[in-house]
Homo-oligomer: A and B are copies of this chain.
């Protein structure tokens, strides 16, 4: 059996904003890996996740994050791993058989050779949801939203919650979890369409287009007349500074990501540390994988909310391996609403 795998690679390290010319589509022959003693499982990729954090893995690795597994460098020319959903094509392990639907660490390509020890789980066939939900709301995006909000922010009903990049894969879920808890929720986004989406489709109390604001501190003061208790940060930079200035005493900031800083280090946030001291603010970073201990709780609650129509998840799905570079680049241009996914193959 011989399989040709078409995949996306970077041509060289990317140190600024990503462009189409930074990527190439390559083809490799996978046949030599189909050895029974390998304990490998070969997956036909169906849906793969497109996430901003990948840009940090594409940079020249001189930073202090290199020792962190989620920040391991992507090698030019090599396959790029990502969370996704696929179907088992060949299995040399007893726990997976041909035809199984799985979610795990796949690749930006048509096939993935999953080595022993890598993340791979069989999907629960009883979950009557679109397969794409396993990439987004039931995957690391949902877990980051749930864990980052409940475990890191420790919110209480009635608290005032601000979410940036609120129409994104994680933000639109955070806002809804916060509403379900009984919080007042405001989101920021980069277009009027997204603002409408937040207020009308997913039920935020308020939202604003940061590109239309001359002063972010004033914008937040207008939206939060009683101050911010919880800030779920997806962007960093000036927005983080403005949020800290508007926070209440004992406020909590969960740093999920800082997309405004990924492609431009000169936009780094310099929040007023006197605010941090006097208001006893807590700023804490996290990774979705940290919340695996609460995954079962997250999944059962999220399934219930979805079934009851209390939670909506929005996806933005492109077609084909060739669309991966533009899908990824689009994240940094604010092209997507909701979770960005590429459908690599139909069933």
Contact = CB atoms under 8 A, between A and B. Distances in A.
Interface in A229-275: 236, 240, 245-246, 249, 255-258, 261-262, 265, 268-275
Given A71-B278, A268-B273, A278-B285, 15 more contacts: A63-B272, A70-B278, A236-B273, A257-B277, A258-B273, A261-B274, A265-B272, A268-B271, A276-B283, A277-B285, A277-B286, A280-B290, A282-B283, A282-B284, A283-B283
Contacts of A286: 277, 280
| Most chain B beta-carbon neighbours within 10 Å: one of A262, A265, A273, A282 | A273
Contacts of A273: 236, 240, 255, 258, 261, 268-269, 285
Interface in A105-140: none
Contacts of A256: 277
Given A273-B255, A283-B282, A287-B277, A68 B249 contact: yes
Contact of A64 (B257, B261, B272, B282): B272
Contacts of A246: 64
Interface in A264-315: 265, 268-287, 290
A65 interface: yes
Given A68-B279, A279-B68, A280-B290, A274 B240 contact: no
| Most chain B beta-carbon neighbours within 10 Å: one of A64, A246, A256 | A64
A71 to B, nearest CB: 5
A167 interface: no
10 contacts: A65-B274, A65-B278, A68-B249, A71-B278, A255-B276, A256-B277, A257-B277, A277-B287, A278-B285, A280-B290
B257 A68 contact: no
Contacts of A255: 273, 276-277
A230 to B, nearest CB: 15
Nearest to A281: B285
B279 A65 contact: yes
Contacts of A249: 68
A45 interface: no
Contacts of A274: 56, 63, 65, 258, 261-262
Contact of A268 (B56, B70, B270, B287): B270
B275 A64 contact: yes
Contacts of A290: 280
A176 to B, nearest CB: 22
